[in-house]
A and B are shown apart, each in its own frame.
Chain A
Amino acid sequence: MSTFNVLLPILTGTIGGTLIANLRKISKNRRNTLVLVTSVLTALFTWRLLPNVLGYKSVLVGIDEGLRPDPLGMVFALLSSTLWVFATIYSFGYMADKPRQRSYFAYFLISAGVTLGIALAGNLLVLYICYELLTFTTYPLVIYNRDQEAIKAGNRYIIYSLIGAAFILAGLVAVWIWTEGNLTFGNAPLLANLEAKPGMGWIFLLFLIGFGVKAAVMPLHGWLPQAMVAPTPISALLHAVAVVNAGVFGLLRVIYSVYGHSLLSELKVGPIALVIVSITIIVGSLIAMKQDVLKKRLAYSTISQLSYILLGAFTLHPIGLIGALFQMINHGILKITLFFSVGLITEKTGKVKVSDVKGLGPSLPLVFIAFGIVSLGMVGMLPLNGFWSKYYLMQGSTVSGYWPLVIVLLISGLLNAFYYLPIVVSAFTKNTTNHLQPIKLGTNGFLMLVPTILLVMTALALGIWPQLCMPLVNSVIDYFF
């Protein structure tokens, strides 16, 4: 695989974004075409890397090993670049009559490139740099509304992220000292040849805090619910898929590429981390139950669901890792769909609260049906893809001996049902106070509806044929175990 091929998706996103930023006088249609082409190309270029990664026997080269797609990175890269295309189409509908579109789409595309940089990074330093960059490129998107609330949320976001990044930097330096300057990810973990030292556990804690900020591990989650002031496609993509998954992905990298599962089980960080993660899962769901603002409820649900991924990863067992990867993919698809539906509801009816959606079902039937199906997936019901991630996570925790995690997952599944399903049920119950006519979606609504429906279908397809994800997921397992 040539160097250029790996660089291509990253460059497409960033250059496309920069171009959009500088084309001040372009008409809206042309700009939208350019944005669409860029994001589709980014996705295509990423998918083109897949065959080489699947049979990773071919030599993986990059720019001085700075970029190097391996199966784990490929999972994240494919997920984010593909969902970006859906979010792009959705954004055309959502942003149609909103100001500051140029800056919106510019940062939107640049963030896509930077996220791919994280995914395809070949060493810890590049990963760190891209991780920092992601904070800066997404900051303008978070404060898009430019009002008091947005600025406050933006401040919180940037402070949390930067301080987290400082922790990562400290950890990075320690690893750099231990390995005498070698930070390149390979088949074997970086610290594989070293003996376990007590300091390693503490350094791992630094990484956990650092990446844990973006992965919204409690109590570092404070920025996430606030950052929901961003426009919905941004919340959907950045705060349910790309940014938060970047944190999770960073931790997966640290666990499997830097420390390695055998060293970590020697250091005994697994149980402690699992306790933190379990608390996040349960408490996140508990808080979500009381949230009345739809997007905040989704945000707390994200906090809880992200920790599923970490739960799978920290079992340090191949099946747990399968569960983690399934959860990353499935949660991405399901959560972005939930956000898309909420965005549609808010745009078309102006309602932002759970208590206000009562009786809205018949006026936006497809949207609420999509929301309902996807929330069943979140609960972990067949034939939705969410079942499979839960299934493998439970199996991973049983096989690795951490059987209490099964109870955590069970409780969390029930809590998911408690806070998602009443939204749909109340939407379809009679509301005597206001009789609503069916709402015409129009072109913009249609642009928002199409990606939503397509994603619901994807969720169903992956639920019925989970083996579709299996080649890639299996190659991750082969790569690390």
Chain B
Amino acid sequence: MTFSSIACVGIPFIGAGLLRRTKSRNATALLTWLTTTIVFGLSVYFFVQTRASYPLSDMTAAIFSLISAFTWWLVSFYLPEYMKAEERSRSFFIFFLLTLGAVQGIFLANNWIVLLAFFEIMTVTSFFWVIHNQNQEAITAGYFYLFLGIAAGLFIAIGLVFINSLGLPLEIGVNLVSLSNSTLLSWAIACLLIGFGIKAGMVPLHIWLPKAHTVAPTPGSALLSGIIIKCGVYGMIRTAQTINLTNPMASFPTNTGLIVIILGILTMLLGVSLALLQSNAKRLLAYHSVSQVGYIIIGIGTAIYLGNEGSYGLAGAIYHTINHAFFKAALFLGTGIIYLRTGQQNLYKMGGLWRKFPITALLMLIAVFGITGTPGFNGYVSKSLLHHGIIEAAAVGGGLLPWIERLFNLVGVGTTASFAKLYYLAFLRKADPELEINGKENGLLIFPLLIFALVITFIGIKPELFLNKAIILALPELGVSSINNLLATNFWVGREIFNMIITLLAGISFCAIGFRFHLFHYQSPAWLSIEYLGRNFIKGLSYLGSLIERKYEQAMANLSAQAKTCYTWILNFSSRLDTSGWGTSGQISFSNINFDVYLILIAFAILLIYILL
């Protein structure tokens, strides 16, 4: 814990406290911007400091902290302009800063308990982004977000309890598998993966993600998708670290790795295939978050699977986390500009927007190049690293893994197709005559997009810079020490580029076929969805509760009626026996007392007799 890391966490909370006192909208915006700027500056300082003291310090934390502070800083330019259209903007600003503090806390924590505490705070504060609009849809999405977030916290807590029960330390960065190899530890790791997987949007626990991303105000969606789900990814990377990565091909890491890879590919496939069917721009982007997180999960999975040799997978996962933050935030912010000026999120009602928003169209095109993995943009870099990783895993493991490599390419095609669809429907196609456009692009709205686009292109052109200066330094402490291959990686291999271009062309033609044959309008039946099951499960539970209560009250009423009958009968009987006339008990009225307990007394008497005998 250095001063700068504590300040990174503390300053947003102080800023949020001060925001309650600001007088005007401008002051609020300025204070928010100032706070994020300070945090960004501090995190840069922290990053530089960490690099200087390498290898003693924690590079992973520094990278994640830097990326989140950077994204937040850029969004804080965009936020005031966007929030002019929304009600209660002050509360959004407050939660914007609070969540920044919590996220920094997650990344800079050196202890699982502290991490969990900030994780819970982050869940609660970002929940207010989701319900900001307060309509029915937002509230429903908010409940999904909150309950699954709480479930995530509980699962993580259980994982920590298991680790602690084995007498293992709760410091982050300890290779636990080398200390103990009981089944309880594998349960602990499973619980941690489930908990962080919920936040990351891993299938089948992703159900909150598309809902929440769609209803939140756009800056919120951009950060939810760019950074918040990366908190889950960060946790998964840290969990991978607890598995002894330096000891390859032991059965436990291999099995865990395989499961994680399969979950990753399922996440990719489901995300991308649902994304193809969406007509709402933000929902489409949200499903792509699910699918892109699948890429990252596959990278983590190959790292666990290959142990010490898994440098490509792990580096690819971290790199893709960063890249996804940039291009997805840019895409959301671009969609936000269109929504702000046209009030429209439905892709089929947009069209021809490149005339009105030329700069947005250009910058979003760069982001689209990024997410589809076009060579020369950042997505290509991390996707080829991940691809390398999966090929290596397939070479070692065989079995299912070669198939997963093919599916991996297929997802690339799907991604391209759905972004070709988005871009065509929104920008290129002829304009819908009913579309109303009020206002134009605006410097403050464009600025973050511009920076993101520059970064996307820069990483695409000089991928080695950030890889060698930061990510590779983080690998040894995460347990992957054979990094020489990675240092010598050449991204400009003809075959790789050719592969990617084939994928892009396949995607675009698939999109064309889709439009031709109306494939993008398929609706799956409601009962198939997980949220349907979930909601009915909760309804069923509460019904069960009320049923039990009713039955209990009924049983008690019956019991008391029976007891009263019994009591009267005994009273009558004993008064008949009574000849001396002392028995005036019949005149004492017990009628106002509930004699439901008479039977218990009898049971007690029987019990006593039983014991005595």
Interface residues, chain A, with chain B CB atoms under 8 Å away: 152, 155-156, 159-160, 163, 166-167, 170, 199, 202-203, 206, 219, 222, 283, 285-290, 376, 379-383, 387, 390-391, 394-395, 398-399, 406, 410, 413-415, 417-418, 421-422, 425, 429-430
Contacts and interface: CB of A to CB of B under 8 A. Distances in A.
B154 A159 contact: no
Contacts of B124: 376, 381
B321 to A, nearest CB: 25
Contact of B594 (A155, A289, A417): A155
A380 B597 CA distance: 37
B541 to A, nearest CB: 6
Interface in B538-570: 538, 541-546, 548-549, 552-553, 556
8 contacts: A286-B548, A382-B120, A382-B153, A387-B157, A395-B165, A398-B161, A406-B158, A410-B154
B contacts with A: majority SS: helix
Contacts of A203: 611
A145 B98 CA distance: 45
Given A222-B552, A398-B161, A429-B131, A287 B545 contact: yes
Nearest to B157: A391
Given A390-B157, A429-B139, A170 B541 contact: no
A286 B542 CA distance: 6
Nearest to B543: A290
Given A382-B117, A418-B538, A413 B594 contact: no
Given A155-B593, A159-B594, A398-B184, A413 B545 contact: no
A294 B213 CA distance: 32
Contact of B545 (A286, A421, A429): A286
A425 B131 contact: yes
Lowest 10 A-B CB distances belong to which pairs?
A286-B545, A382-B117, A290-B546, A289-B542, A394-B161, A398-B165, A287-B545, A381-B120, A287-B549, A417-B150
Contact of A159 (B134, B160, B597): B597
A379 B147 CA distance: 10
A208 to B, nearest CB: 12
B604 A414 contact: no
B548 A414 contact: no
A410 B543 contact: no
Contacts of B134: 429-430
A149 to B, nearest CB: 14
Nearest to A406: B158
Contacts of B164: 395
| Size band of the interface chain B makes with A | 35 or more
A157 B22 CA distance: 53
A372 B533 CA distance: 27
A418 B147 contact: yes
Nearest to B87: A430
A156 to B, nearest CB: 6
Contacts of B601: 163, 166
A233 B46 CA distance: 51
A203 B610 CA distance: 12
B608 interface: yes
Contacts of A422: 143
Which of B121, B538, B543, B594 counts the most chain A CB atoms within 10 A?
B594
A290 B161 contact: no
A417 B146 contact: yes
A159 B596 CA distance: 9
B530 interface: no
Nearest to B188: A398
B161 A287 contact: no
A192 B147 CA distance: 47
B120 A170 contact: no
B549 A290 contact: yes
A380 B157 contact: yes
Contacts of B596: 159
Nearest to A285: B545
Nearest to B603: A209
B556 A222 contact: yes
Given A156-B594, A222-B556, A425 B139 contact: yes
A167 B545 contact: no
Given A286-B541, A287-B546, A290-B545, A399 B120 contact: no
Contacts, number: 119
B189 interface: no
Contacts of A206: 607
A222 B559 CA distance: 13
Given A159-B597, A287-B546, A290-B545, A381 B153 contact: yes
Contact of A199 (B143, B160, B556, B611): B611
Given A159-B597, A381-B153, A406-B161, A289 B541 contact: yes
A222 B538 CA distance: 25
A374 to B, nearest CB: 13
B600 A163 contact: yes
Nearest to A418: B538
A380 B154 contact: yes
B113 interface: yes
Nearest to A218: B552
A406 B154 CA distance: 10
B161 to A, nearest CB: 4
A166 B153 CA distance: 44
B592 A155 contact: yes
Interface in B301-351: none
Contacts of A170: 604, 608
A382 B113 contact: yes
Given A288-B545, A380-B157, 19 more contacts: A155-B592, A163-B600, A163-B601, A166-B601, A202-B607, A222-B552, A222-B553, A286-B541, A286-B542, A287-B545, A381-B150, A382-B121, A382-B153, A387-B157, A390-B157, A391-B160, A399-B165, A410-B154, A417-B150
Contacts of A414: 147, 150-151, 154
Interface string B141-185: 011001100110111011011101100000000000000000010
Contacts of A391: 157, 160-161
A185 B542 CA distance: 44
B401 to A, nearest CB: 33
A289 B113 contact: no
A410 B147 contact: no
A413 B150 contact: yes
Contacts of B162: 398
A235 to B, nearest CB: 19
A4 B244 CA distance: 61
B152 to A, nearest CB: 11
Nearest to A426: B139
A425 B142 contact: yes
Given A163-B600, A286-B544, A286-B548, A425 B154 contact: no
Interface string B105-134: 000000001001100110110000001001
Contacts of A287: 545-546, 548-549
Contacts of B139: 425, 429
Nearest to B133: A430
Nearest to A415: B541
A373 to B, nearest CB: 9
Nearest to B155: A410
A171 B51 CA distance: 69
A421 B146 contact: yes
Contacts of A160: 597
A152 B548 CA distance: 22
Contacts of B135: 430
Nearest to B612: A199
Contacts of B600: 163
Contacts of B158: 394, 406, 410
Contacts of A289: 541-542, 545-546
Which of B124, B134, B161, B164 counts the most chain A CB atoms within 10 A?
B161
Nearest to B160: A391
Interface in B575-613: 592-594, 596-597, 600-601, 604, 607-608, 610-611
Contact of B611 (A202, A394, A430): A202
A335 B147 CA distance: 21
A285 B131 CA distance: 26
